[in-house]
Amino acid sequence: MKMKKIEAFFSVLFVPLDFLLLILAGISAYHVRFSQWSDSIRPVIFNLPFSSYFRSVLIMAALWTFIFVIAGLYQTRSARQLAQELKKIFLACSTGLALVAIVIFFQRELFDSRFIVLAAWFFAVLYLSVAHILIRWLEHSLLAFGVGVHKVILVGNSKTTDSLIAEFSGNRKAGFRVLKRVRDFSITTAQELAEFIKDQEVDEIIQSDPNLTKAETLRLYDFANENHITFKYVADLLEVKVLRTEVTEIIGIPIVEVKRTTLEGWGRVFKRLFDIVVSGLLIIIFSPVIILTILIIKLDSPGPIFFSRRDDGAPVTRVGEGGRPFRYFKFRSMIPNSDSMRYKELSDRNLRTDGPMVKIKDDPRVTRFGRTIRRWSIDELPELFLVFIGRMSLVGPRPHLPEEVAKYENYHKKTLTIKPGITGLAQVSGRSDLLFEEEAKLDIYYIENWNMLLDLSILLRTPLAVFKHRQAE
């Protein structure tokens, strides 16, 4: 979309403004910690010169601003909504906080006060949220006076056109003003519109009639280009489904590549780096729990510590990215040599009759300690090692058995587009009784709409989901 000068100004303004506010947040946290009020509550027992601290703040502010860019905080007005923007601020600042925590963990001398780090995060969320709210209010006020409004022509004779006119007329914050509606496009109409566009300084033309032929739409597209205005059109169902496209030219012929997921290119690199760092950190943090679990499993019941072999001695596998199987293991929570019972003696207890998965009600194979580690998902902690070596990801669809995947419908196989995860959108949905179809839809939504902030959101919600599941039991 052609940007107005005022729109470009606000889009550019946010970058230096956010950077300065992040610095201010760091300074505020420092002064609060070293204030008399704070010192009276908890005396300062470390030395942190302001000059040294300020250098670290500058580096972190620049890094956080880069995270904001990746998070999409600086999109054009048409792509932004205030509620989504505030959510992005919170999640992006939380990502920055996690990054600082990781740095502190491996380089303790960066900051000696956890309070300063948490206070800086709080002030950053507060300052940026207030600033973005005020600037959005200013933008909306200017739009109400006609400043920065996009002047449009609507072409179409459909209910969609009527709906757009009603929306643009009743919602000034949308930033569009309909100057003219054209019910059909012809040579005569084109000549009249060309003069109208010059006189009224029209910004864009929107083809809003799904019933218009492809030839008419192409003529309208050429007309918009000839008159140097933006062309938009209402997408049909197919285009909505294949929205993630990339166009390249081969000997002058445009070739459209339909991407299976937004997790491509740099996104895949960032996700893998995030998986390595966070899984490594979590392995260290949970190492006491892992060691204790190993000891108790050994004392609680005879058999191996890990569930890594099937009843016939074959290695346990799950289906991963691209439908490729990989070696899988987790803590053993059942009596040995009982895996095949799920398809035989216990088949009448299956709770997942709606799809290919098997889930046994009141499973008698589970050991006494196995029930405890299952209740808190401790049996899945070894999956962190699978994430670290690249077989799985922290977030993604849960890995399924080869015999389950063999029963998938064709559209279910889209869940195999990416690496399986320890947790996912289905697991934090708030329900433990999801039907397989509902779970598949959530997984496909995640694949089609992936971004790092969505991953962070799911990870932050996972502990609460585990706790709620524990309470439900």
Look at residue 39 in the predicted model and tell me its pLDDT: 58
End-to-end Cα spacing for the chain: 52
Answer whether 460's CB lies under 8 Å from 427's CB. no
Look at residue 79 in the predicted model and tell me its pLDDT: 46
| Secondary structure class of 252 (helix, strand, coil) | coil
Answer whether 290's CB lies under 8 Å from 297's CB. no
Alpha helices in 172-211 (DSSP H): 187-200
123: confidence class by pLDDT, cuts 50, 70, 90: very high
Mean pLDDT of 202-207: 86
Look at residue 285 in the predicted model and tell me its pLDDT: 94
Answer whether 416's CB lies under 8 Å from 323's CB. yes
Look at residue 250 in the predicted model and tell me its pLDDT: 38
Yes or no: domain 150-234 corresponds to CATH 3.40.190.10: no
Mean pLDDT of 328-351: 74
Burial category of 430 from C-beta neighbours within 10 Å (exposed 0-12, middle 13-18, buried 19 and up): exposed
DSSP string across 387-440? HHTTSSEEESSPPB-HHHHTT--GGGGGGGSS--EEE-TTTTSS-S---HHHHH
351: confidence class by pLDDT, cuts 50, 70, 90: low
Specify the range with the lowest mean pLDDT, choosing from 159-168, 317-326, 381-390.
159-168
pLDDT tens digits for range 110-119: 455 677 888 9
Place of tokens 């201010």: 24
Look at residue 231 in the predicted model and tell me its pLDDT: 82
Average pLDDT, the chain: 80
Q: Rounded CA gap, 246 and 243, in Å?
A: 9
- Long-range contacts of range 171-178, CB-CB < 8 Å, 24 or more positions apart? 172/140, 172/143, 172/144, 173/140, 173/143, 175/77, 175/78, 175/143, 175/148, 175/149, 175/150, 176/149, 176/150, 176/152, 177/146, 177/149, 177/150, 177/151, 177/152, 178/152, 178/153, 178/154
397: confidence class by pLDDT, cuts 50, 70, 90: very high
Judge if pTM exceeds 0.75. Answer: no
Q: Rounded CA gap, 131 and 15, in Å?
A: 12
Answer whether 158's CB lies under 8 Å from 210's CB. yes
Higher pLDDT, 467 or 444: 444
Q: Which of 76, 80, 69 is nearest to 8 (CA)?
A: 76
Look at residue 49 in the predicted model and tell me its pLDDT: 78
- CA 302 distance to own-chain centroid: 43
pLDDT tens digits for range 277-326: 999 999 999 999 999 999 999 998 888 999 998 878 889 999 998 788 99
Q: What is the DSSP letter of 360?
A: B
Statement: residue 470 has pLDDT above 70: no
Burial category of 174 from C-beta neighbours within 10 Å (exposed 0-12, middle 13-18, buried 19 and up): middle
Answer whether 281's CB lies under 8 Å from 393's CB. no
pLDDT tens digits for range 38-89: 656 666 566 677 888 898 899 999 999 988 887 777 765 544 567 878 888 9
Specify the range with the lowest mean pLDDT, choosing from 220-224, 303-307, 452-456.
220-224
Answer whether 330's CB lies under 8 Å from 306's CB. yes
pLDDT tens digits for range 412-422: 888 888 899 99
Answer whether 380's CB lies under 8 Å from 370's CB. no
Main-chain phi, psi angles of 334, to 5 degrees: -125, 170
Mean pLDDT of 432-458: 84
Higher pLDDT, 401 or 340: 401
146, 150, 156, 160: CA torsion to nearest 10: -80
Look at residue 106 in the predicted model and tell me its pLDDT: 66
Q: Rounded CA gap, 175 and 180, in Å?
A: 16
235: confidence class by pLDDT, cuts 50, 70, 90: low
Q: For the chain, what are the domain ranges?
A: 5-144, 150-234, 266-472
pLDDT tens digits for range 223-233: 887 777 888 87
- List the Cα angle 12/127/70 in 5-degree steps: 45
Letter for the amino acid at 240? V
Statement: residue 184 has pLDDT above 80: no
Specify the range with the lowest mean pLDDT, choosing from 33-37, 203-207, 304-308.
33-37
Place of tokens 């002064």: 31
